[in-house]
């Protein structure tokens, strides 16, 4: 009798675990891991402690802020029994008991998730209505999580109203939606509503840094900041971008770099945008067109360039009104915004916004986007040489001819011979007088209190109110006269008096000296009602 051996199938190597994308792998499992929603967590924690739990919760917010994750966390919090099986509802579910693990793995029989986008009809809701009458099998509460609830039909919403009004004590409803305005008011009034906010960029940056470290990937802080800005407050969107960036860095054999992320997303370089914005302010048309073409050659969408310029104008305006800077902004961007906010007036900023906004719309609808973007930038540069409508009305009221106030320079200022630069405010006023700009010369005499004058740079005191767009108009006039770009700004600090204040002080001192002379003093003593009249101080023009 021969022995036989049943060898069976050869041992198989263990199957590698399927890769999970970062957005799923790092989905929050506790409320402490839910970033940017502290107010909601505190409110829910207080409700659990005081046993004031609503029977229906509505979670609303933009994509990727954690609505479905929060719904699952609430299901875990209300059904957790603790490691010893004796616990009750808690804002800190243990994560180790059977209900917590089953809910986290999506296999709990009493936690039913439904996608309203694919179950929109009254028939689907009727199944829920029939099932709520039966008690939970093993959990404390039977939970119904309905995602994108706004997709339900009107009959479905109507069929749900009565159950929402008086649900059984063992049932809780958790609704999630991105479009809360599409939900009937009758449903809203029966739910406890939580508005999940967009996650701030700085918190997203910190979160992405933690995820990158956990994945063993190096990432530049600027790269993470770019990803956070592109995510627009959505953790899921940001993690998807980070996933792609890590894969790209792996192919390149290096860290997640800012330039690679910028190229991957088609984003404009912030430094290039700041340089382009400066060219627009200086009226440098060839430089602006070349900078735009350089961005276009790198694959940046022309509409994206216009959008970045709009963001820059908005940021300058916020800096001008004193809004705190975004912590994610680099130091050089803050310095540029501070400098521009001190130089540019509100009328010019509003005009830039309107011109760029119009250009953005034209580029979006244009058959030739890059050409439309170039024309939009040229329109901005041309409009920057025109006076403000209020100033134009003032000039016309003062008798200035319209042609003289709106015409562009006859020749390119760059082609004009460079004049000797003034070194004092008095010389500056005289230069403007000689260039047939008497109105601007008078404004210089009346308002310019210099803090630093090192031509072609002039910093004047901001303590005394200045006319709207004064620094811009003065800079454009001096560029046309001298052929050089002038940097004119305002600042706080000790400053010299203006020419008008100096002349007035000299006149007052000379008048006081005349009044103190023996002859005049004796005459005033003999005639107490007498006055010194007709006294003027001749302005020096040297």
Confidence grade of residue 522 (pLDDT, cut at 50, 70, 90)? low
Residues 6+ apart with CB under 8 A from 191: 54, 56, 57, 58, 164, 173, 175
Segments forming the whole domain that contains residue 170: 22-195
Confidence grade of residue 14 (pLDDT, cut at 50, 70, 90)? low
Greater pLDDT, 390 or 324: 324
Residues 49, 159: one domain?
yes
CA distance 483 to 416: 6
Look at the block and give the residue holding tokens 């134009």. 392
CA distance 140 to 109: 12
End residue of a domain, out of 245, 265, 285 = 265
Residues 177, 130: one domain?
yes
End residue of a domain, out of 363, 384, 405 = 384
Cβ density class 472-495: b for 16+ within 10 Å, e for less: bbbbbbbbbbbeebbebbbeeeeb
Residue 395 lies in a domain: no
Residues 309, 227: one domain?
no
Residues 42, 143: one domain?
yes
Under 8 Å between Cβ of 250 and 219: no
Q: What is the pLDDT of residues 305-342, one digit of tens each?
A: 999 999 999 999 999 888 887 766 677 788 888 889 88
The pLDDT, as a whole number, for residue 359 is 92
Residue 318 lies in a domain: yes
- What does DSSP say about strands 192-195 and 487-491: parallel, antiparallel, or unpaired? unpaired
How much is the average pLDDT of 179-206? Answer: 90
Residues 70, 137: one domain?
yes
- What does DSSP say about strands 111-115 and 487-491: parallel, antiparallel, or unpaired? unpaired
Answer yes or no: pTM beyond 0.95: no
Residues 130, 182: one domain?
yes
Residue 11 lies in a domain: no
Confidence grade of residue 538 (pLDDT, cut at 50, 70, 90)? very low
The pLDDT, as a whole number, for residue 266 is 67
CA distance 333 to 326: 10
Residues 342, 288: one domain?
yes
% of the chain exceeding 70 in pLDDT: 83
Task: Tell me whether residue 275 is exposed, middle or buried, using C-beta atoms within 10 angstroms of its C-beta: 0 to 12, 13 to 18, 19 or more.
Answer: middle
Residue 108 belongs to domain with CATH number? 3.40.50.300
- Ramachandran bin of 366, using left for φ above 0, alpha for ψ from -120 to 50, beta for the remaining angles: beta
Q: What is the pLDDT of residues 224-277, one digit of tens each?
A: 988 888 888 888 988 998 988 888 776 555 788 888 887 777 666 778 888 999
The pLDDT, as a whole number, for residue 120 is 85
Residue 522 lies in a domain: no
Residue 249 belongs to domain with CATH number? 1.10.8.60
The pLDDT, as a whole number, for residue 384 is 61
CA distance 306 to 318: 18
Residue 311 belongs to domain with CATH number? 1.20.272.10
The pLDDT, as a whole number, for residue 415 is 38
The pLDDT, as a whole number, for residue 355 is 92
The pLDDT, as a whole number, for residue 470 is 82
DSSP 493-509: S--PPPHHHHHHHHHHH
End residue of a domain, out of 230, 265, 300 = 265
Residue 477 belongs to domain with CATH number? 3.30.300
Residues 325, 219: one domain?
no
338, 343, 344, 345 alpha-carbon torsion, rounded to 10°: 110
| Full 3-state SS string of 123-175 | HHHHHHHHHCCCCCCCCCCEEEEEECHHHCCHHHHHHHHHHHHCCCCCEEEEE
Residue 438 lies in a domain: yes
Residues 107, 30: one domain?
yes
CA distance 111 to 124: 16
Q: What is the pLDDT of residues 120-176, one digit of tens each?
A: 889 888 988 888 888 888 889 999 999 999 999 999 999 999 888 888 889 999 999
Mean pLDDT estimate for the chain: 82
Residues 55, 169: one domain?
yes
Count of domains for the chain: 4
Q: Give the least confident one: 330-339, 379-388, 395-404.
A: 395-404
Q: Give the least confident one: 347-361, 440-454, 459-473.
A: 459-473
CA distance 380 to 489: 21
Look at the block and give the residue holding tokens 């706080």. 492
Residues 211, 118: one domain?
no
Residue 118 lies in a domain: yes
CA distance 456 to 470: 16
Residue 39 lies in a domain: yes
Residues 188, 227: one domain?
no
Residue 449 lies in a domain: yes
């Amino acid at each position: 009798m021969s022995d036989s051996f049943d060898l069976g199938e050869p041992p198989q190597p263990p199957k590698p675990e399927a890769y999970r994308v970062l957005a799923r792998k790092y989905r929050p499992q506790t409320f402490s891991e839910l970033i940017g929603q502290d107010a909601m967590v505190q409110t829910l924690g207080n409700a659990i402690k005081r046993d004031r739990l609503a029977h229906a919760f509505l979670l609303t917010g933009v994509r990727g802020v954690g609505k479905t994750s929060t719904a699952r966390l609430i299901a875990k919090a209300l059904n957790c029994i603790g490691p010893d099986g004796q616990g009750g509802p808690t804002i800190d579910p243990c994560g180790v008991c059977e209900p917590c693990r089953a809910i986290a793995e999506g296999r709990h029989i009493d936690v039913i998730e439904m996608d309203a986008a694919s179950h929109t009809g009254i028939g689907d809701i009727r199944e829920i209505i029939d099932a709520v009458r039966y008690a939970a099998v093993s959990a404390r509460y039977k939970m119904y999580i309905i995602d994108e609830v706004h997709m339900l039909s009107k009959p479905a919403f109507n069929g749900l109203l009565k159950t929402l009004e008086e649900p059984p004590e063992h049932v809780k409803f958790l609704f999630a939606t991105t479009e809360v305005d599409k939900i009937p008011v009758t449903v809203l009034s029966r739910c406890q509503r939580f508005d999940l906010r967009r996650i701030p960029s700085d918190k997203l940056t910190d979160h992405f840094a933690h995820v990158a470290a956990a994945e063993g990937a190096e990432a530049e802080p600027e790269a993470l900041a770019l990803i956070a800005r592109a995510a627009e407050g959505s953790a899921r969107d940001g993690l998807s971008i980070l996933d792609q960036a890590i894969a790209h860095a792996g192919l390149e054999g290096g860290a997640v770099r800012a330039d690679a992320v910028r190229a991957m997303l088609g984003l404009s370089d912030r430094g290039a945008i700041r340089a382009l914005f400066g060219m627009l302010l200086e009226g440098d048309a060839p430089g602006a067109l070349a900078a735009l073409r350089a961005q276009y050659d790198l694959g940046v969408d022309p509409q994206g360039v216009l959008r970045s310029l709009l963001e820059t104008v908005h940021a300058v305006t916020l800096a001008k009104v004193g809004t705190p800077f975004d912590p994610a902004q680099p130091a050089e961007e803050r310095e540029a915004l501070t400098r521009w906010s001190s130089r540019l007036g509100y009328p010019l900023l509003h005009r830039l916004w309107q011109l760029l906004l119009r250009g953005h719309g034209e580029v979006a609808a244009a058959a030739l986007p890059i050409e439309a973007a170039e024309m939009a930038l040229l329109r901005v540069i041309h409009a920057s040489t025109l006076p403000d409508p209020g100033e134009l009305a003032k000039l016309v009221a003062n008798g200035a001819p319209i042609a003289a106030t709106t015409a562009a320079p006859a020749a390119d200022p760059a082609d004009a011979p460079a004049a000797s630069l003034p070194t004092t405010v008095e010389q500056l006023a005289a230069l403007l007088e000689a260039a047939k700009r008497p109105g601007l010369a008078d404004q210089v005499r009346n308002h310019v209190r210099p803090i630093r004058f090192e031509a072609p740079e002039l910093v004047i005191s901001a303590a005394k109110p200045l006319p709207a767009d004064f620094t811009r108009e003065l800079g454009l006039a001096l560029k046309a006269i001298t052929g050089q770009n002038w940097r004119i700004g305002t600042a706080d600090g000790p400053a010299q008096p203006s020419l008008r204040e100096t002349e007035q002080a000299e006149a007052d001192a000379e008048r006081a000296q005349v009044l103190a002379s023996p002859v005049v003093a004796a005459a005033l003593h003999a005639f107490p009602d007498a006055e010194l009249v007709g006294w003027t101080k001749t302005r020096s023009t040297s």
